[in-house]
Structure 1
Amino acid sequence: MTSPHSAPRPSAPAPAGAPDIRLIVTDMDGTLLDGEGRVPDAFWPLLAELERRGIVLSPASGRQYATLAALFAGADDGMVYIAENGAYVVRDGAEVSSEPLDPAVPVRVVRSVRQLAADGVDVGTVVCGKRAAYVERSDDAFLAEVAKYYAERRVVADLTAVDDEVLKVALFDFGSAERTTAPALKPLAATHQVVVSSEKWIDVMNRGVNKGGAVRSLQRALGVTPAQTMAFGDYLNDLEMLDAAEWSYAMADAHPEVLRRARQVAPSHRDNGVLRTIARVLDLPLDLPLD
């Protein structure tokens, strides 16, 4: 796939009447991944055809880079990953950009969540570093949720003593992240990005760090415009990414704010909505019914 530091490679001509799309960015959970959290089998031949036509596809996720790389292990060299909600962009295992937090911020968040837990909130913290994700809560239920998104993870005795460049702090609330944990982080929202990334997850990053910023940087590096960009998302951490693309799609079962913000709606991830939409708009072959 194309390097983010070079112009798109020569490609096969697009079908007559198909839009001039050069970049596709897609969220993962609730968007590209199927109902079982897997990359659909039909994705791989579609990806090969996109590459043949010189179209770059980039996963954009709150997941860590190691998890994304494992999911797309079958992809060709050159895949560009927008990880940690835009705080870490990697190509071919090499860092393209990163936005580490000041070391005092993770400590502040960890202590706030410890107080929430002491008050009876069923919540846990993941300190997301470049090398691994770190947790101090070690019960099976919490670790099972962490394992879905963080392939490289370590249980430590004290999250305030993590020795790594921290890109993001993620909080998992077994209840409602938007109603319970988010209000407790309101003071931090004055200086940092605090985003509800799913029903049960909240992410804390540097102000201005989001998937949209990473997409705009990638557009500049590739010489691609928003009019040549297609984006898919389903939750609040996808809003800025959708703003960066004129071909923006909310999944049919997306958060109401995402449905309002996107220009168009794609079928649910359970109906392979990303693949169906790409194939329909770009007139690409797809081993799925396109109705």
Structure 2
Amino acid sequence: MPNPLPFDTTDIRLLVTDMDGTLLDEEGRIPDGLWPRLEALTERGIVFAPASGRQYGMIARLFEQVLAGMVVIAENGAFVVQDGEELSSITIERSGAARIVDALRAYEAAGNEVGLVVCGKRGAYVERTDPMFAKAFSQYYAYLTAVDDALDHDDEILKLAVADFEGQGRLVKALEPFAASHQVVVSGQHWVDIMSPAVDKGVAVRALQQRLGVTPAQTVAFGDYLNDLQMLDAAEHSFAMANAHPAVQERAKHITASNTEGGVLQVIDRILAA
């Protein structure tokens, strides 16, 4: 039997986990051992909710075999869906998005290598389709449209995701003029997300807790990167992965094994053993 956790697990009702670098393995796949554990969590009355910067369509595809009834927190909390029904969303005004896109085009024209994805409710939109950029975005977006102008559509805009292939430090600095009106979040080694200041995974988790009648004391959360911090704050029982960013490890209440060692599955086993 797994070692018990340092808190009472008998009243846990919600388990929320980031995906890349947290739940998914080194190849970006859901570990096979998750499926029987999800069934056991459901039998215990514990809601499982993936929470990711990924597009809803991509998350839904990964969890297709168990999607019925599942709550999906997508686009860093900007879009929450259950059974195809929108539970909540927070969008970016198109005029603000246009100003940011203009700034990114100027940044690229100055010799910086970046790629932009405009993330909407129905799908995502890109201008670049070259192999380097396609490799960067293909694992995150199931519904993607190549367009001449990334804003030339009528979809509601949830997020702008920008890949900087030289690292995001310079890009974050270039986006500082928008920090007062938008949220600029480092979401991965090469990715920066730009969203409404009202969006983060923690906001989405708290709204879900309220909807389900679940408290932070009944919530377990897992994360590895900076865009997971607010989500961890929303759970009394928060776990950082062994491979997590140092700031995430400092913020979380507990540390579990890395994503490559199945750290999330290990904690689930300890919850189910109670």
- Note the 1:1-291 alignment, pairs <5 A: 18-177=9-168, 179-283=169-273
Give the CA deviation at 1:254: 0.7
Name the SS of the counterpart of 2:176 in structure 1.
Answer: coil
Give the CA deviation at 1:121: 1.2
Q: In 2, distance between residues paired with 1:18 and 1:24?
A: 11
Structure 1 residue runs of 5 or longer lacking an equivalent are 1-16, 285-291
Q: In 1, distance between residues paired with 2:104 and 2:218?
A: 42
Give the CA deviation at 1:144: 1.6
Q: Deviations over 1:228-272 (max 9, x none)?
A: 000000001000000000110011111111111111111100001
8 Å contact kept, 1:18–1:283: no
What TM-score comes out, normalization by structure 2 length?
0.95
- Evaluate the alpha carbon distance shift between residue 270 and residue 207 of structure 1 in structure 2; reply closer, same or farther with a 3 A threshold: same
Moved over 6 A (4+): none
Q: In 1, distance between residues paired with 2:202 and 2:265?
A: 21
Q: In 2, distance between residues paired with 1:187 and 1:64?
A: 26
Letter in 1 for 2:49: S
Q: Deviations over 1:135-165 (max 9, x none)?
A: 0012111012111101100110012323210
Q: In 1, distance between residues paired with 2:147 and 2:67?
A: 35
Name the SS of the counterpart of 2:205 in structure 1.
Answer: helix
Give the CA deviation at 1:117: 1.1
Q: Deviations over 1:99-142 (max 9, x none)?
A: 11101122112111111111111111000011110000121110
What TM-score comes out, normalization by structure 1 length?
0.90
Letter in 2 for 1:195: V
Identity, in percent, stands at 55
Q: Deviations over 1:1-30 (max 9, x none)?
A: xxxxxxxxxxxxxxxx64411000000000
Letter in 1 for 2:162: L
Question: Which stretch of the first structure deviates more once superposed, 41-50 or 180-189?
Answer: 180-189
Letter in 2 for 1:162: H
Name the SS of the counterpart of 2:179 in structure 1.
Answer: helix
Letter in 2 for 1:283: A
Q: In 2, distance between residues paired with 1:172 and 1:232?
A: 24
Structure 2 residue runs of 5 or longer lacking an equivalent are 1-7
Name the SS of the counterpart of 1:77 in structure 2.
Answer: coil
Letter in 1 for 2:85: A
How many equivalent pairs are there?
267
Name the SS of the counterpart of 2:27 in structure 1.
Answer: coil
